[in-house]
Structure 1
Amino acid sequence: MKRILTAIVLIALVIALVFFGKPWMITVCSAVVAGLAALEFRSLAAAGDSPVPLWWTLGSIALFFLATFLRPQDTIVAVAFATLVLFTWNALRSPLNRVLSETAAGLLMLVYIAYPLTLIPQIWNTVNGTALLLFLFLCVWSGDIAALYVGKNFGRSKLAPQLSPNKTWAGALASVAASVLFGMGLVLGGDWLAAHGSNFTKLHTTEPWWQFLLLAILLNVAAQFGDLLESALKRGANVKDSGTLLPGHGGILDRIDALLVAAPVLWFVLVIREFFSPGSF
């Protein structure tokens, strides 16, 4: 029950923010989530004997999001500057045999956590941004729920026992099916509302349904890889959950691990489509 109530509250907050939020609100909320997830990542890194300074963690996250909000074209400069600062700090204070691993851990934190979450406000700002972001969330959420319950009750063959012993092929296939079902439900529902003259047009998209069908499958596969990547970090650190902030769910990183890979995949699809055929998705 605790898990279900937490999920309902989080989903309601996210949907309200996507529909009624402002650009700065989306950016600030994404930055807060990134900061909390980065703090959990620090614990995993420290357990792996590669600690990342607290001041640098929070400062680099803030710098990254500020650069993305003000000058998106210069975010790589922010990453390079933050990494060089960390490199210098570690070279002056850490044992020399740990300088590389500790600096690499900090850089991974930015690439793995901060970068994907900076894409959330950027996706929201694109044409059809509200529908695309909800499509992304639905594919991730529904796939995760289906994988959990189908895998638990019907799963036999293990998907990746070394990384996550509880994940099964049955759960993985159910996850793909759920993402397609709910993702296409959103797309076709938005089209139906638009066709019947509804003023609720934020769910309407301008591209054919079959493209979203393929995208739902792609995002689901990316999300499942994201789940496995975080499992690798946790098993390496010998912990079950990344944190305890969310009742019944573990930590923030446990809840957004799938999104951290799915969001960049969606963004890359949008970029590639714009490159070859300028316009909205």
Structure 2
Amino acid sequence: MITLPPSRQRLITGFALAGILLVAVLLGGWFLHVLVLGAVLLGLWEFYCLFWPGNSQLVQKCLGFILAGGFVLSTSLTPEWPILFVSLALCASALMFLARFGSHHPETRITDYTVLPFGLLYIALPLSLALHMHPAEQIFVVLVSTATDCGGYYAGMLFGRHKMWPSVSPKKTWQGAAGGMVASIAVCLVAGHLASRNASLGLPVMSFWLWLTMGILLNAAAQLGDFFESALKRSLNVKDSGTILPGHGGVLDRIDSLLFLLPLYFVFRALYTAVALLSAPLPTPGA
């Protein structure tokens, strides 16, 4: 049996995932919904298993799966449907806490029952934002996330000397973070150049400085998402969220940066659109 080095495994897995994503984005519709749903359910399973290993809390896991599936599949409907599934998750957790506390278990704490709804808010909600984006934007945010990850990984491996936040992520260095930042900015500047040459591409047409700012902010969000998941795993004494992706660990290890990057991109795009509309000249009366 041939064993590939971790860096080679990482590259092969990354290209395979990129190919699957590209096909789903090009096909769109339910193909993309199925891809997002698969990522949500796999990530959610790993997240729940961090807190509830094996078959423990199987009822809560299954309930979380059902609600997360309903959340993702209902995003193409009216906005009330996704909100309904989050509300149901919160109510279910509250009722389970109430039942346990009321059964003569005064040591029960509400924090023991927040894992179920937090999984939906942490994983299902941000990934579902991708379903409301133009295909070019979907590819763009994944490229920024991948560039941050690969740039940080290889820059840290080649030049890493000074630890960045060892209490959270012992292997991450300032040199690696700088490599991820440069890669993220490069992707954003290339995207900005393409958008300026083709306004119908689906990406916002912004100035060089705004694309540069976006590259810095999205990189910061991606790295914070990675740090959060690292802190989560270290608090539970777990090395990886799973083993399904060779060279990457689990699905949650691969998408952790996207979970922070996607909401920030939405905020940045919404603010830019709002400012552009407000600064647009008013139509001349009678024109």
TM-score bucket (shorter structure):
0.7 to 0.9
After superposition, the Cα gap between the structure-2 partners of 1:81 and 1:203, relative to the gap in structure 1 and judged at 3 Å, is closer
3-state SS of the aligned residue for 2:76?
Answer: helix
Within the alignment, does 1:24 sit opposite 2:34 as a pair? no
- Structure 1 runs of 4+ aligned residues shifted over 6 Å read none
CA distance in 1, matches of 2:142, 2:129: 13
CA deviation after TM superposition for structure 1 residue 98, in Å: 3.7
Partner residue, 1:101: 111
Give the Cα separation in 1 of the matches to 2:109 and 2:275.
42
**Residue 114 of structure 1: CA displacement?**
0.9
- Structure-2 residue corresponding to 1:36: 42
Give the Cα separation in 2 of the matches to 1:173 and 1:26.
32
| Match in the other structure for 1:115 | 125
Question: Is the 8 Å Cα contact of residues 27 and 69 (structure 1) preserved in structure 2?
Answer: no
Q: Which residue of 1 aligns with 2:226?
A: 227
Contact conserved, 1:26 with 1:120, CA < 8 A, in 2? no
Separation in structure 1 between the aligned mates of residue 154 and residue 266 of structure 2, nearest angstrom: 29
- Paired residue type of 1:138: L
User: Unaligned stretches of 5+ in structure 1?
Assistant: 124-128, 196-200
- The one-letter code of the counterpart of 1:35 is L
Partner of 2:284: none
The partner residue of 1:182 within 167, 178, 187 is 187
| Of 71-80 and 93-102, the range deviating more from structure 2 | 93-102
Between the two proteins, what is the percent identity of the paired residues? 32
Distance 1:265 1:5 in 2: 29
State the superposition RMSD in angstroms: 2.3
Residue aligning to 1:210: 209
1:66-114: per-residue Cα shift (whole Å, max 9, x none)? 3322122543332112210222134324755344123211222111111
Match of 2:137 in 1: 132
1:227 is paired with a residue whose SS is: helix
Aligned residues: 265
* TM-score, normalising length: structure 1: 0.86
Calculate the TM-score normalised by the size of structure 2: 0.84
Structure 1 residue 65, shift from structure 2 partner:
1.4
What amino acid sits opposite 2:99 in the alignment?
A: L
Q: Structure 2: how far apart are the matches of 1:90 and 1:271? A: 38
Question: Structure 1: which amino acid aligns with 2:217?
Answer: L
Aligned match of 2:19 in 12, 20, 37? 12
* 1:255 Cα offset (Å): 0.2
Determine which structure has more spread, i.e. the larger CA radius of gyration: 2
Please name the residue that 1:238 is paired with: 237
d(CA) in 1 for partners of 2:107, 2:32:
40
CA contact (8 A) 1:83 1:103 kept: no
| CA offset digits 1:186-236 (Å, max 9, x no partner) | 3324545x49xxxxx636653333322211111100000000000011101
